[in-house]
Structure 1
Amino acid sequence: MTLRSLIARELHQAVQRLLSQSGLRWPDGLELLVEQPARVEHGDYTSNVALQLARHLRKPPIQIATQLAGELRGLPMASRVEAAPPGFVNIWLDWRWWASHGMTRWDPPKERAAEKVVVEHTSINPNKAAHVGHLRNACIGDTLARLLRRVGYRVEVHNYIDDLGNQVADTVVGLLHVPVKGQYTRFGDFCWDVYARVSQAYERDEGLKARRAEVLHALEAGDNNTAWLGRLVAEHIVQEHVAEMGAFGITYNLLVWESDIVREGFWAAAFEKLKQSPLFVKETQGRLAGCWVLKQPQQEQEGPAEAAAGREEEADDEHLADKVLVRSNGVLTYTAKDIAYHLWKFGLLGKEFRYRRFAQGLWTTAPDGTGRPFARARRVLNVIDRRQEYPQAMVRLALQALGFQEAAGALHHVSYGVVSLSPATAGRLGMDTSEGRSSYPMSGRQGIGIKIRDLLDLMEASIDRERSRRAGLSSRAIAAGAIRYFLLRYNLGTEIVFDMDSALDVHGNTGPYLMYAHARAAGILRKAGLESRAMPPEPRRMPEVSEVERALLRHLADWPDTLEAAAEGFNPTLVTGYAYELAQRFTDFYENLPVLKAPESERPFRIWLVALSRAVLADALGVLGLPAPERM
């Protein structure tokens, strides 16, 4: 158990005793929260449960808090318990008890290892080089996978490859019909320009635009020259994407190709299941005549939503109240294939892929492959930007329509804000910023954006210029950690306005600051004659702790609860916030108190505190996917 859960259990029992004495049961809606107070003078942990109990027990909150404090004064982990106005129960920890009872390390519940969680992230269109907006998705997804593994779950990471979409078709059209010349070292960079050029050519040539529809049909058919060209383009660019993500420590277990979903009959199996639901119907009139549509439940046949849907162009992928899954010409929408994919993720489709190796440690779906134990998840997390909320809701609706209520409840869309460009950065990339907007969206069709490798090169050069020494971690590794942390530290719902100069800054709340704090701790331990990965024995006699030491101890003690809260809420920013505060508190500790030159009565404890800080910071950096360097 975590420290908070231990305290909460004891407090719950004390509250239960008070209620029983008054002949009451636990009230509905009563939520017992144990938190760390913002101010250290209010204790190490606190609860406001007395304020919530006042109307049930019909007593002043401070009186209830006083009774609860009396009940808790015998707690072995508490050195002091007090009631505070208007009705808080404040608890001061006995740090000797905490250090000697194995609370400095936390291992997750073993039973979680039986629960598989599938995390899908990245899922970039395989038609050109990746940009920094794609990298935010991958960093969030990879961090969630690391976090869920850290708290004990069995995690499988998927990268869905949409090789049948408009974007791949556009690149194929461009390669066949739009000449592009220039010196390129990577195919994805060449296709970046091809994609932009073909988008411009469509505006001048309607015949070329019509060619895209032909290419789309050929890609989906899969038995022709165009389909082979599309597959070769997609596979080469996916190889580049995987390598790019690897520079940031981002890995996958499985690549799932949209073409395999179609050609292996996954949609056909899903289609047969869906036809058993009254919500899945073939429209016979209006603009959607001939389309197979997933209806919203309890919706009138001729309601306003359907009328609005009828005004939409059938080929558009707008948010329709009735979601088109199969168009009248037989072409599947993205959502249709996604429904089949998710039925397979949960082991509900009755069909399996075959697999072959794509790279070291990475598998891919393949018609000529072998069987592997992928999918069959208990929970599924999809990291997709907030613009895709409606399609994700339709996948959940399909699971509900088929009677798979448990799976529908276990499907989670991890939504996040998109990445746009600051005016200064947009101007440097050649965009017209005369409108004076606060941010500018990246546009693949216009060829406007920051490619991942270009950003990594710029950051590496910036760090090289600032470094006085080259020992330790490479500038490129520091650069990758800096970029990754920059994309993770914002709340998920926040749109990141990406400014190149700000991203290149290595001071303040940044990845390099965290990595430096770890290297500093490792350096102190080396000077103390310890391997930085080794923990010295817990001090048998812990001295009276100072306020600086106590502030650091309080934060270290809260790491397991931060992990649990972050995993429960699928929120990596709780970990970035924790890690940054830990680095600050550790820096405050070693800058204000001597460690190696401390009095003999305090030196073992302070060395132990450095080692514990290093261990927890390394744990946090590991969850965030940043290096934990011995030297910077």
Structure 2
Amino acid sequence: MFGKFRREAEEKILALAEREGILVDPVFTIPTVPRFGDLSTNVCFQLAKTLKKPPVEIAEMLAPKIKPTGLIADVQAAAGYINFYINYTVFVKEFLESIGHDFGRGEKKEKVIVEHTSANPDGPLHIGHLRNAVIGDTLARILRFAGFDVEVHYYLNDMGKQAAKVVWGRRRYGTPEGKADHATAKIYIRATSEIEEQGLDFEVSEILTRYEARETKAVAEFEEAVEYCLTGIKQTLSRLGIHHDKFVWESRFVLDGSVESVIERLSKSGFAKREEGALLIDLTKYGIEKDMVIVRGDGTSLYIARDLAHHAWKMSLGRAVNVWGADHKLVSMQLTAGLDILGLPAPEFIIHEFISLPQGGMSTRKGVFISADELVDETVEKAFEEIELRRTGMDETDARGIAEDIGVSAVRFNIVRIAPEKSMVFKWDEALDFERQGAPFVQYAFARAKKILSKAEGVEKATASETLGDEEKRLVKTLSRFPEVVNDAADSRKASIMAGYAIDLSNAFHSFYMSAKVLGSEKEGFRVALVEAFTTVQGSVMDLLGIKQLSEM
């Protein structure tokens, strides 16, 4: 509905420009101060040079020539801008009559492969992987809601030296007790230390060579080790509401000859050179000084060779979006260059910066890291402590159930609200903020609305009101923006836009709740309809962000 209002305003400006014989490219923004309208355009600043007049004079000249119709109630000039005001009498009726559970859902679009998480199967997810998984999952949800045919992939690096070290360790130590991914980390850390101390790297290379040759014993050992670790990783992801449609093993591209084909094509490309038996690709043409090593001196392929084969296959399925960490920036550039040499399109990359805790970072290799499980557990425990302070006397089982939903939601929301290109420090006081910016604030708004509706059974809802207060207008306008927000988040591939909208919408509802009595008021039917519309939109927003919906807090 807000999109319709925007289109009407744009049509008014373009029609006026045509009548006046001037060329314009109107840009609209939403004013932060209500007295400056509901939409504002800076078109007069664009025209200042052409018309040789100040923007203020141009705005005062053009605004009176625009006749308000449809969803537009008034048009005014202010400080060089042309401001459009919503006709809320018409707007709110059309909006409330159009709202439904599919409100904001886009029409069917093309297929998109979203790859995220893709952590090596050598231990549990750490908080860096967690940021990747949350960004990727939220983006996949948004793209799917926007109408894309989304398929979510996890690319399993089962042929790297990390996996080979786990196999080597399992042969020597067996499998310790505990959650599968954490048990695997114990093996990997111990094996890495022993291999480095005793100079046994050649044994790891031999294991990897046998696996690439698809020797029966090696294949069975690798598959068992990888599947075992993956069991634990899936448990962590499932707790967070994150699921993948397909787990793609990189070894398949060795087995079906794809890697060999890619290596052969690259070796004949004119960019290749040999050094001590290794095959390197010169990428200076692409602004990359470091050569891309495709094959080691011992004849085994590197990760990038298998990844090129993987992407040659993946790009044949449709458009692709890769969510990768900042430590993969160079690889993303190499991959893009390699695919171009092969004459293939590249995926889109969402590169997220690092995440840390106030007390420091993490490293799986050295055995010092903060696992995703630990972070979620700690957040849930802190949520439980907050509930005990706010709801004294609540049954402990109920409190812990609510704490789980709040804690998991808080982790997801606190991660996704920060744009990927910004590094972040995960702070529990921000994540569990009930008052302003955390997931609990969003959940609390939803719970408040549901409580009102539970007491409004039998109330005849109304879709129109002769007059609207400022907070009613604010809520209606914010709700109506949802379809535009979905499209903006999907088109820009920025899930953080949806998180920002969740806060805006929650703020609008809380302000409405504090200023407008709903049940028993003269406008009861209309306000109940407005609260119901809020739960519909907020419910969709929470689903897209992976935030649990609670009827009580």
TM over 0.5: yes
CA distance in 2, matches of 1:580, 1:114: 28
For the pair 1:520 / 2:456, whether they are aligned, the reply is no
CA distance 1:34–1:461, shift in 2 (3 Å) = same
CA distance 1:73–1:290, shift in 2 (3 Å) = farther
Which range moves more in the overlay, 585-594 or 268-277? 268-277
> Which residue of structure 1 aligns with residue 406 of structure 2?
478
Which range moves more in the overlay, 457-466 or 322-331? 457-466
Report if aligned partners of 1:218, 1:226 keep a CA contact under 8 Å in 2: yes
> Which residue of structure 1 aligns with residue 60 of structure 2?
66
Matched residue of 1:415: which SS? strand
Instruction: Give the partner amino acid of 2:356.
Output: S
> Which residue of structure 2 aligns with residue 592 of structure 1?
515
Report if aligned partners of 2:478, 2:505 keep a CA contact under 8 Å in 1: yes
> Which residue of structure 2 aligns with residue 185 of structure 1?
178
Q: What is the CA distance between 1:197 and its match in structure 2?
A: 2.0
Matched residue of 1:384: which SS? strand
Gaps of 5+ in 2: none
For the pair 1:94 / 2:30, whether they are aligned, the reply is no
| Residue in structure 2 matching 1:225, options 217, 225, 229 | 217
| Residue in structure 1 matching 2:361, options 437, 441, 448 | 441
CA distance in 1, matches of 2:296, 2:202: 17
> Which residue of structure 1 aligns with residue 192 of structure 2?
199
Instruction: Give the partner amino acid of 2:355.
Output: V
CA distance 1:99–1:9, shift in 2 (3 Å) = closer
Q: What is the CA distance between 1:16 and its match in structure 2?
A: 5.5
> Which residue of structure 2 aligns with residue 381 of structure 1?
321
Q: Alpha-carbon deviations, 1:449-493, whole Å to 9, x = none?
A: 222333333333333343333559643222211211122122212
Q: What is the CA distance between 1:297 and its match in structure 2?
A: 6.2
| Residue in structure 2 matching 1:53, options 32, 47, 51 | 47
CA distance 1:475–1:108, shift in 2 (3 Å) = closer
Q: Alpha-carbon deviations, 1:497-554, whole Å to 9, x = none?
A: 23567656655421122112111101101111169xxxx75523x1322222222222
Report if aligned partners of 2:116, 2:133 keep a CA contact under 8 Å in 1: yes
Residues 226-265 of structure 1: pairs in structure 2 closer than 5 A: 226-265=218-257
Q: What is the CA distance between 1:210 and its match in structure 2?
A: 2.9
> Which residue of structure 2 aligns with residue 135 of structure 1?
130
For the pair 1:569 / 2:489, whether they are aligned, the reply is no
Q: Alpha-carbon deviations, 1:411-439, whole Å to 9, x = none?
A: 2111111222322xxxxxxxxxxxxxxxx
CA distance 1:295–1:510, shift in 2 (3 Å) = same
CA distance 1:298–1:229, shift in 2 (3 Å) = closer
Residues 302-313 of structure 1: pairs in structure 2 closer than 5 A: none
CA distance in 1, matches of 2:260, 2:402: 51
CA RMSD of aligned residues (A): 2.6
Report if aligned partners of 1:417, 1:493 keep a CA contact under 8 Å in 2: yes
Q: What is the CA distance between 1:276 and its match in structure 2?
A: 5.9
Q: What is the CA distance between 1:5 and its match in structure 2?
A: 6.2
CA distance 1:598–1:15, shift in 2 (3 Å) = same
Report if aligned partners of 1:83, 1:90 keep a CA contact under 8 Å in 2: yes
Report if aligned partners of 1:4, 1:34 keep a CA contact under 8 Å in 2: no
> Which residue of structure 2 aligns with residue 352 of structure 1?
none
For the pair 1:269 / 2:261, whether they are aligned, the reply is yes
Report if aligned partners of 1:389, 1:413 keep a CA contact under 8 Å in 2: no
CA distance in 2, matches of 1:530, 1:453: 45
Equivalenced residue count is 541
Report if aligned partners of 2:432, 2:438 keep a CA contact under 8 Å in 1: no
Q: Alpha-carbon deviations, 1:154-190, whole Å to 9, x = none?
A: 1110010001112112222222335886xx3322222
> Which residue of structure 2 aligns with residue 360 of structure 1?
none
CA distance in 1, matches of 2:71, 2:427: 48
CA distance in 1, matches of 2:226, 2:358: 31
Report if aligned partners of 1:383, 1:414 keep a CA contact under 8 Å in 2: yes
Report if aligned partners of 2:92, 2:476 keep a CA contact under 8 Å in 1: no
> Which residue of structure 1 aligns with residue 463 of structure 2?
539
Q: What is the CA distance between 1:263 and its match in structure 2?
A: 1.0
CA distance in 2, matches of 1:629, 1:443: 36
Report if aligned partners of 1:488, 1:573 keep a CA contact under 8 Å in 2: yes
Report if aligned partners of 1:19, 1:57 keep a CA contact under 8 Å in 2: no
CA distance in 2, matches of 1:150, 1:72: 36
Q: What is the CA distance between 1:109 and its match in structure 2?
A: 4.7
Instruction: Give the partner amino acid of 2:415.
Output: L
Q: What is the CA distance between 1:619 and its match in structure 2?
A: 1.2
Report if aligned partners of 2:134, 2:412 keep a CA contact under 8 Å in 1: yes
CA distance 1:7–1:71, shift in 2 (3 Å) = farther
Instruction: Specify which structure has the higher proportion of helix.
Output: 2
Q: What is the CA distance between 1:92 and its match in structure 2?
A: 0.9
For the pair 1:292 / 2:279, whether they are aligned, the reply is yes
CA distance 1:57–1:260, shift in 2 (3 Å) = same
| Residue in structure 1 matching 2:306, options 324, 332, 337 | 337
Report if aligned partners of 1:12, 1:32 keep a CA contact under 8 Å in 2: no
> Which residue of structure 2 aligns with residue 529 of structure 1?
457
Q: Alpha-carbon deviations, 1:244-268, whole Å to 9, x = none?
A: 2111111111110011121122213
Q: What is the CA distance between 1:340 and its match in structure 2?
A: 1.2
CA distance in 2, matches of 1:615, 1:188: 38
| Residue in structure 1 matching 2:474, options 534, 538, 551 | 551
CA distance 1:220–1:501, shift in 2 (3 Å) = farther
TM-score by length of 2: 0.90
Matched residue of 1:626: which SS? coil
CA distance 1:43–1:6, shift in 2 (3 Å) = closer
> Which residue of structure 1 aligns with residue 373 of structure 2?
453
Which range moves more in the overlay, 289-298 or 325-334? 289-298
CA distance in 2, matches of 1:499, 1:169: 36
CA distance 1:9–1:324, shift in 2 (3 Å) = farther
For the pair 1:497 / 2:497, whether they are aligned, the reply is no
Q: Alpha-carbon deviations, 1:394-425, whole Å to 9, x = none?
A: 22223322334xx33xx2111111222322xx
CA distance in 2, matches of 1:590, 1:499: 29
Instruction: Give the partner amino acid of 1:415.
Output: I
TM-score by length of 1: 0.79
Report if aligned partners of 2:415, 2:426 keep a CA contact under 8 Å in 1: no
> Which residue of structure 2 aligns with residue 173 of structure 1?
168
CA distance in 2, matches of 1:90, 1:332: 61
Report if aligned partners of 2:489, 2:497 keep a CA contact under 8 Å in 1: yes
> Which residue of structure 2 aligns with residue 353 of structure 1?
none
Instruction: Give the partner amino acid of 1:539.
Output: T
CA distance in 1, matches of 2:493, 2:57: 38
Q: Alpha-carbon deviations, 1:247-297, whole Å to 9, x = none?
A: 111111111001112112221333454456434x2x14xxx3543333336
CA distance 1:5–1:543, shift in 2 (3 Å) = closer
CA distance in 1, matches of 2:488, 2:325: 22
For the pair 1:625 / 2:546, whether they are aligned, the reply is yes
Gaps of 5+ in 1: 300-304, 306-318, 348-375, 424-439
Higher relative contact order (CA 8 A, sep 6+): 2
Report if aligned partners of 2:267, 2:279 keep a CA contact under 8 Å in 1: no
Instruction: Give the partner amino acid of 1:18.
Output: A
> Which residue of structure 2 aligns with residue 370 of structure 1?
none
For the pair 1:328 / 2:249, whether they are aligned, the reply is no
For the pair 1:390 / 2:330, whether they are aligned, the reply is yes
